[in-house]
Structure 1
């Protein structure tokens, strides 16, 4: 065992002890975080506007600050972007993470000197948690690749702007720099296709042991390697033992990945976002990710099926239930206050608190009142693919409200890596799974309001071509699993084959 492995194992034990200390005291951890946030922000413009001086209890906080989204905070963010200090959080932000908003255009999410360490520490602790649980630290001696956005940043008013993954690239610990791939120059290549091929060129001769990135983009990397070498990734990189991912559900990709790699490998799921690093997988054989309750983020939750009601009930960590779909609301040491991230989550455990991401509150299909969410379509496609031995590269779902003939339906755009032998049986299984999970959808089918779903096959690499046409190829960009309109569906028609 190398000295680096020995050091990693010791560090992992210390980290696991510290994690247990707050995870075993969840309510106290959140109360402490809440008090810290209020105390720090009293003298900011937002704190003065909302009378933080008089906030003594959580109920005061609820009464003085409305739940909001980016548009609700835009006036404050615009002031901070212009370089004004003490707007949402003391001082100026260190960075603004630029994201693509679905309704707001470009969004600028502040990252402060207090919030930035949480992003770095959480990613580190996820790896240390894995080492502490499994005892496997062999990967620290090899090369590690992080498929991410360009680390090149813009500067304006003394503040740097860029993609979150590019910003984080500036904080890779010194002890990992020698192992980190790809090179800085390659990471800065703006064209995704050129960049991914250069990454292959740089890494194919290295001892790659850890690979990280959004599954859809890592899949592209793997496919290029396999096609070039005509053997699985596990043979090209025999010491590859750990895959780290986030951003989307891995399950629809798992069987394809295992085929590309040629063996099963351990994986760690992360839940990072520009607004905060919320959770990471802390146990290999337990469902859900550990919600980070001591990382400068105060959490509130609203049941998803009540979210659009007037004055829905808001829950804190002490009151949530397992297997209920919640919209997550955050207040953070980056200066986001009662901010709707847009994600829906479900708790899988409360000892400690673990979550899975079930979808986006804006990404659903409910053109007929069915409110089908991402969790339901992902589970359906996973079950149908396993049953019918199909392999899926990518998919998305949209409603077809005005078909040229027959009843309306849900249209599934699917790019198959391997088609099922019997397509109609696959469709039946897929539709039945959604019905089993969603009683509203079932009622619409049985009541002849909707007909069973329709599959539109997307050509090979069609989703990549679609993303490239929209200027969103690579990096942290990903396809929404569902839409409530046909904006994406209509654009995908260009890359589609035929309906089934």
Structure 2
């Protein structure tokens, strides 16, 4: 808390013509900064960024002049030139690093441009989040100065003709500033290891030598690593070896399915900190304990737009229509789902990132991730989101006192109609029919459209229980281990065919 509160009432600030720190003003300032930096690029010249900068309504003009892009469209028209080494395409200079990203369902890798400007912006947001830890009143202060175990991709990147490519976490670890090196674990040598199993083995081997205060990574892989350490050294909990462990920084997937499993591995409560760090940029972070959601990074290196996630803007496969309705930060509403568009300091312009979010607090600009534009089920109009599924699984898990760390759902034909097929990871004793019935009932309570269609064209729900190890083995078989890889909550297309063959 500040020693002297110098904030002024809004009316006085307005009378004195002091700049208001409104989300809209912050975002327009970011947009103009991006437009100014990229105005001499091919993209900037094509869409007349100079003219947009002179407009009194830069945001609306930008929306009118620049089309919406998904990955396929922006790669075909622009980004492929940067892979060929051409400079000044969508962002000034040559692109020397690309994050390889396949999401959770796509087969082919996507090459997402990474620039120094983007990395600098990411670091600024990371520092802001660290500073926000002072609002976590019950934290262990000693833990902040301890080691940070960051479980990510290899820093030994693939070398292209004019660039390096790899997992974003690997690129980030490779660029760790010198002052952070003493805190950074597992260290640069282990971080270069490409083989995931060898990397985990090296971490387990070195675990007694480290004093860890933070663990950072995707919940499933962090949990697996901690389980191996506990097993190797015959420990009761992870705190027997890392007594100062106080924080778990996670993101990219709902933590609720994993929480019960984590609590079995620790000897004292952890502070869970959620982040939204995508390959395209550091989107949002939790800046206070027990917050409803994560605060968007509005004043840094990303300009946000939001497309209402409905049938008018997306087709049945989750593809965005031509000229969708797009809103700026001051136009969104609480309780509605939106797909995010990003314009970033790496040459992504009005780029559909593929995630859907919901505003839980518009005043604080706090969001939760509700799913993916292509990870929802609406075979017959049931409009079932990943958020609905996560809530149903959590409610049923708590009711039955079981642990369900992973699951996936597919829409399947059923006679002349349709059904949902659930595959659930659970190592506890539970009756599959009871679990199926309870999840179905919870979804009817959570989603009115689902309830209606369950009495109509969505004729049945099937459920198969599998060991958690089967889900991890499948990810191994697809080469999707560690780093930012998450198990898809909805299966479609070739991934579904591969999964069915694997399970059978």
Q: Does the 8 A contact of 2:156 with 2:194 survive in 1?
A: no
Cα distance in 1 for partners of 2:195, 2:116 equals: 31
Q: Does the 8 A contact of 2:432 with 2:463 survive in 1?
A: no
Q: Does the 8 A contact of 1:226 with 1:233 survive in 2?
A: yes
Q: CA deviation at 1:157?
A: 4.8
Residue aligning to 1:425: 434
Q: Summarize the alignment of residues 241-260 of structure 1 with structure 2, pairs less than 5 Å apart.
A: 241-260=246-265
Q: 1:206 aligns with which of 187, 205, 210?
A: 210
Pairing 1:167–2:168 present: no
Cα distance in 2 for partners of 1:161, 1:51 equals: 31
Q: 2:182 aligns with which of 178, 181, 187?
A: 178
Paired positions, count: 476
Deviations 1:71-114 (A, max 9, x none): 11113111111111111011122421122265582221112222
Q: Does the 8 A contact of 1:364 with 1:373 survive in 2?
A: yes
Pairing 1:387–2:389 present: no
Cα distance in 1 for partners of 2:187, 2:441 equals: 47
Q: Does the 8 A contact of 1:462 with 1:495 survive in 2?
A: no
Q: Does the 8 A contact of 1:44 with 1:86 survive in 2?
A: yes
Residue aligning to 1:493: 500
Q: CA deviation at 1:260?
A: 1.7
Q: 1:192 aligns with which of 190, 196, 204?
A: 196
Q: Summarize the alignment of residues 322-401 of structure 1 with structure 2, pairs less than 5 Å apart.
A: 322-401=334-413
Residues 1:469 and 1:155: Cα distance change in structure 2 (over 3 Å): closer
Q: Summarize the alignment of residues 439-458 of structure 1 with structure 2, pairs less than 5 Å apart.
A: 439-447=448-456, 449-458=457-466
* 4+ runs deviating over 4 angstroms: 21-24, 101-104
Q: Does the 8 A contact of 1:414 with 1:457 survive in 2?
A: yes
Q: Does the 8 A contact of 1:391 with 1:419 survive in 2?
A: no
Q: Does the 8 A contact of 2:156 with 2:193 survive in 1?
A: no
Q: CA deviation at 1:346?
A: 0.6
Residue aligning to 1:3: none
Task: Give the alignment's Cα RMSD to 1 decimal.
Answer: 2.5
Cα distance in 2 for partners of 1:22, 1:373 equals: 40
Q: Does the 8 A contact of 2:412 with 2:421 survive in 1?
A: yes
**Where does the alignment leave 5 or more consecutive residues of structure 2 unmatched?**
8-17, 315-320
- Between stretches 293-302 and 456-465, larger displacement belongs to 456-465
Residue aligning to 1:72: 73
- Between stretches 278-287 and 472-481, larger displacement belongs to 472-481
Residue aligning to 2:11: none
Cα distance in 2 for partners of 1:217, 1:418 equals: 20
Pairing 1:279–2:284 present: yes
The alignment partner of 2:50 has SS state of helix
Pairing 1:437–2:438 present: no
Cα distance in 2 for partners of 1:151, 1:22 equals: 43
Q: 1:295 aligns with which of 282, 297, 300?
A: 300
Q: Does the 8 A contact of 1:24 with 1:352 survive in 2?
A: no
Q: Does the 8 A contact of 1:150 with 1:190 survive in 2?
A: yes
Q: CA deviation at 1:136?
A: 4.0
Q: Does the 8 A contact of 2:207 with 2:229 survive in 1?
A: no
Cα distance in 1 for partners of 2:353, 2:375 equals: 12
Q: CA deviation at 1:418?
A: 1.8
Q: CA deviation at 1:437?
A: 2.1
Pairing 1:123–2:126 present: yes
Pairing 1:47–2:44 present: yes
**Where does the alignment leave 5 or more consecutive residues of structure 1 unmatched?**
1-8
- Between stretches 244-253 and 129-138, larger displacement belongs to 129-138
Q: CA deviation at 1:493?
A: 3.5
TM-score normalized by the length of structure 1:
0.89
- Between stretches 25-34 and 259-268, larger displacement belongs to 259-268
Q: Does the 8 A contact of 1:459 with 1:495 survive in 2?
A: no
Cα distance in 2 for partners of 1:259, 1:409 equals: 35
Q: CA deviation at 1:158?
A: 4.3
Deviations 1:364-403 (A, max 9, x none): 1222222211111111101110111111131111112146
Q: CA deviation at 1:126?
A: 1.8
TM-score normalized by the length of structure 2:
0.89
Q: 1:38 aligns with which of 32, 35, 38?
A: 35
Residues 1:127 and 1:236: Cα distance change in structure 2 (over 3 Å): same
